[in-house]
Amino acid sequence: MSHSPSEFGPLTYISRGYGYSEKGLALEIYEPLSGSPKLLIMGSIHGDESFSTVLLSECLRSIQDQELKSSIILTANPDGVLAGTRCNSRGVDLNRNYPTANWSPDPVFYRNRPDTPQNIALSPGDGAASESETKALIKLIQDIRPKLIVSIHGFLGCIDDPDISPIAKDIALRSGLELVPDVGYATPGSFGSWCKEQAIPIITYELPAQDIAEMKRIHTPILKDLMTGHYHKMLL
């Protein structure tokens, strides 16, 4: 079924499954009708950052089927999104569960508001890549071999790219967010660390703390361009 450019109703794109969450929910990816996608965009590896899913869904619903040139994962952590939790259903921070050289079994501490202590403990997993969601995403990436991954988070309000790539520079300019080579603290077992060890370029798009209407106004045009191939010419 085709979309009109102004449609914001049901999501009618056909996804394919790439695995299941710990609670048995389908892990889904949306892909171009033809061609090999160079770019993978993903949201909600943290379930309490589901605004990223909302933004990606709105972009996907606003384009024609044939316009999609990138692969899209609306949520990498569906159990967490449904529960409203940062972690998956087993209490694991999936963004600390990847098999990296710096993976640690120590608890992960975070804050759920900028002005609160960083004292909420989550597990990094029983071991590296212990979670269904982690294993499935690793296999998917090994299969599709994207040339760039853009992972959407919040609320640090920056564009994190260790390579300071031209795409990251342009996103930072358009969004008004600071471009940084790292987030300024250790992230053992993170998805970004794993990508770096696999020599897969990754941009972490850290949205700022603002209301969803403002997020849509500023960031939807950028995400839509990422989806429709505007940036593909900048990929090697």
Q: Any bridge partners for residue 149, and if so which? A: 40, 202
Distance CA 227, CA 62 (A): 11
206 classed as catalytic: yes
From the candidates 31, 49, 133, 206, give the one annotated as an active-site residue: 206
Which residue numbers are catalytic? 206
